[in-house]
Homo-oligomer: A and B are copies of this chain.
């Protein structure tokens, strides 16, 4: 079965519709998906950005929010801008990484729905605990694992791996042969590529 890695950052707006669409798109093509949470912050910082490029470059930011409105309208997804934007995504990323397989994918979709569908603050420990409980997981147990030194190190390693793969934004798909596809609007192309290489 062909596989692809779905690299996503919880602070990333474009990762929201992508996270909501990608499982079905992969499934319909027979592609197994590995969900890869990571942090863009270190990658942005390495190129001199201390904030979201959508804040640093206001015209780009205005366009992105309008583009998101059109995309979410077309998909029937609610959209509510979280405040502040971008959200601090560290805790959510640690928790996602502490989960495996479908639990990770489900939790990740819940985070995006809360953050960009309801405008909730995902850096809030209680909010994350609530999302875990709704997913029938034990919040204290998962948060404990998420904040272990081992898991923190894993997230650092994942973010370093993202940079090695050439990732500079989110979301990205990476195929088995190392092709990189950036953006919600490249999901179909990337998954078609993943499926064709194994066909």
| A contacts, CB < 8 Å to B | 43, 47, 57, 59-60, 62-63, 66-67, 70, 163, 166-169, 179-180, 182, 185-186, 189
Contacts and interface: CB of A to CB of B under 8 A. Distances in A.
A169 to B, nearest CB: 8
A47 to B, nearest CB: 6
A66 B165 CA distance: 13
Given A57-B47, A57-B168, A63 B185 contact: no
Please tell me how many copies of the chain the complex holds: 2
The 8 closest A-B pairs by CB, nearest first: A59-B168, A60-B168, A185-B185, A59-B166, A47-B57, A63-B182, A62-B166, A63-B180
Contacts of A59: 43, 47, 163, 166-168
A186 B185 CA distance: 9
Contacts of A169: 60
A185 to B, nearest CB: 5
7 contacts: A59-B168, A60-B169, A62-B166, A63-B168, A63-B182, A66-B179, A185-B185
A188 to B, nearest CB: 11
Given A60-B168, A63-B166, 19 more contacts: A43-B59, A47-B57, A47-B59, A57-B168, A59-B163, A59-B166, A59-B167, A59-B168, A60-B169, A62-B166, A63-B168, A63-B180, A63-B182, A66-B179, A66-B180, A67-B182, A70-B189, A185-B185, A185-B186
